Structure 1
Amino acid sequence: MRFRLVFSLYLNYIIHGFGLIILAQNMTTLSDYWSTSLKMVSFVISGIGIGRLLAYLITGYLSDKLSRKFFVYLGMACYLFFAIGIVSTKSIIFAYFCAILAGIANSALDAGTYTTLVELNDGNGQATVLIKAFVSVGEFILPLLIAAIHGANLWFGWSFISMVVLLILNAILLIPLKFPQPYQNEKNTQEKIEQRQQSNLGRIIATGALVLYGYTSMALMIWFTQWITLFGEKVAGFNTTQAHLLLSLYSVGSILGVLCLYIFLNRNISEGPILIIMNILATLALGIILLSHTPLLSHIASLLFGFSAAGGIMQTGLTVFMKLYPTRRGFVTGIFYFFGAIASFTEPLISGALSDISIQVALGGDFFVGLIGIGLVTVINFASRQAFEM
């Protein structure tokens, strides 16, 4: 029963991996289907961020009051309506509403799943690290599926229908499964830690940098996934398969990054140096892609970018944040991902505007985000170290 529950929870995040990139991967087709510009499709994608903004600070709080299973089902239902709605409408307004539902789905799944995995493991949160790997599996499969659909001259909507089929099957699998009761036995530990908490300049600076890093770490990933395939086709001159392979290799790199990061953190390697190294590697890889325009080098760089930018560094930043405020973990998590949701909303608008200049400029904006990220994690490393020493 436990294995079946964990399997279904992780399967939802493969589907979530589909949901994160399915609009971006179908941008050109949706532009034709809706008889609109790429800029308007990018505007629709920004609705995902709005959904997260509306839901993140609410779903986490309510998941402690209501059933975890309810929020898992809520997330699945929202994704179901999203997938069906996108392919059944030609209205930009309704499509935007569907994108908002996808954002709410993300928040609801997180509220029901992260807590359940922790409670299944008696308060141990290591199982949540693997969620990122399953998201990456979905991000790896979908571009290949879309390329196969395109190559066979089939209707583009089959990629959305695949989400619908998986959601229905998983909903059936979840019906007989029982979720664990919330774990509520940490008051004494919290009170002891609270006595050691004191305001200091290092913690204040680290807090500000971490809040901003919640934005940049999310923007760095979604900016890349939105534009890398179009960049490969329109700027680098790759064929359809080569262009879609860029994102699939990014997903492979992400999976490898999660596994390596999981090993590093289990060996008690400090989070600060890991954040600095990974952000430098990500920005370097992005620079290579922007300049090389050769398939082999771009594919290697895309793998490296996935390894470093999408291998769990956002979650690692959150870990540092929670260490600064060990008695306010829920609040800190909400704030951190709230700023990530702001990135989900604003990034498509910013990059969409840059795409009016050129696709290369649109992706080049992500390089600028990477440079800011390097600066922020450097500040976080030194400021948090000072805070922990106080």
Structure 2
Amino acid sequence: MSNQYVLVINSGSSSLKFAVIDSQTGEAPLTGLGECFGLPEAEISWKYQGEKTVEAISADGNHHQCAFERVVKLLETLSLSSKFVAVGHRIVAGGETFKGTVKVDESVIQEVDRLAELAPLHNKANAEGMRAAMTAFPSLPQFAIFDTAFHQTMPAKAFMYALPYELYEEHKVRRYGAHGTSHYYVSREAAKMLDKSLGESSFITVHLGNGASVSAVKNGECVDTSMGLTPLAGLMMGTRCGDLDPSVIEFLFRKGWEKDEVFEMMNKKSGFLGVSGVTSDARGVLEEMEAGNTRAKLAFDIFTYRVAKYIASYLVALDSLDAIVFTGGIGENSLPIRREILNNLKLLGFVEDEKGNEDARFGNAGLIATSELLGAKALVIPTNEEFVIAQESVALMK
């Protein structure tokens, strides 16, 4: 193996994603995912040299810890633990503290933990993952790559809230965004795909997964994004409500709801799950919709409508538009959802390329629509956050 391999760790609220990846080519001989943590069906799966293995995770103990211990054992079994030169960690919220990649030490871990108030579902797990990796690989340099870093180029008019300015000065209350690593990657790939100079390009990047966000990227820099102080804002998501009138919170308090109960509901019981009443998974929503479930159809309609609204609104942040770029698990694979979003953008002149849309799935990039009115394309580009994390880690080593 090359001496440019990096172990990439993405420790989520209920999952652990990992990969051994070449920072130069993006080749990944080992990829894996521990998921459904906290549920009886918790499992860990991995693919090594094309062969997939799935194991259940014991219901006893901490699923994050069990999964990480299994990853370490797997790396040893496959004789990979001595092959990588660094460990790269995906961290969701860096606030204004971390504006780029940093080397991990205890002070960084403590600050990531403190910043959990900006990403309550993610940063605690991110900090756990860093501590576990520091214990397992004490001699390797480790780096933290922040989802919020790419959005630090937003102008104040985009990231400030219309609240008393003292809240920003004293508590840094502002829009931070998330999924920055993904928006960064696909905007650069889009420029290559269209044979355009990144410094003379305008994209609206649409990351749709269990978490979802939209960004306006002008000349390679983020100028606006849909997530806010925390990843709760913006689009409707798998279990998150997205934008809503803040008075809903006050209303529920007056109805006797407790603070923790309200925020648990907005973060973990809303979105696809809350509206459909069945599932947080977009695939399950589509299946239920096809079976005649009207609430699943409503969830589909709300989601696709809100995505289209955000896309259209971000034309304000750009002087022109070269492409809308779909990515993420839903954005890369869900033909019905992409089709409905494009239907909602007909006023902007987008006409679907039906064959292109059907072909651009399951890891395939492609052109799925064109707007003669705007001179713009709609593209699908599979994201590769792990590749970016590996590249950033090796770059900082040097």
Give the alignment's TM-score, normalised by structure 1.
0.29
Name the structure where strand makes up a greater proportion of residues. Answer: 2
Give the alignment's TM-score, normalised by structure 2.
0.29
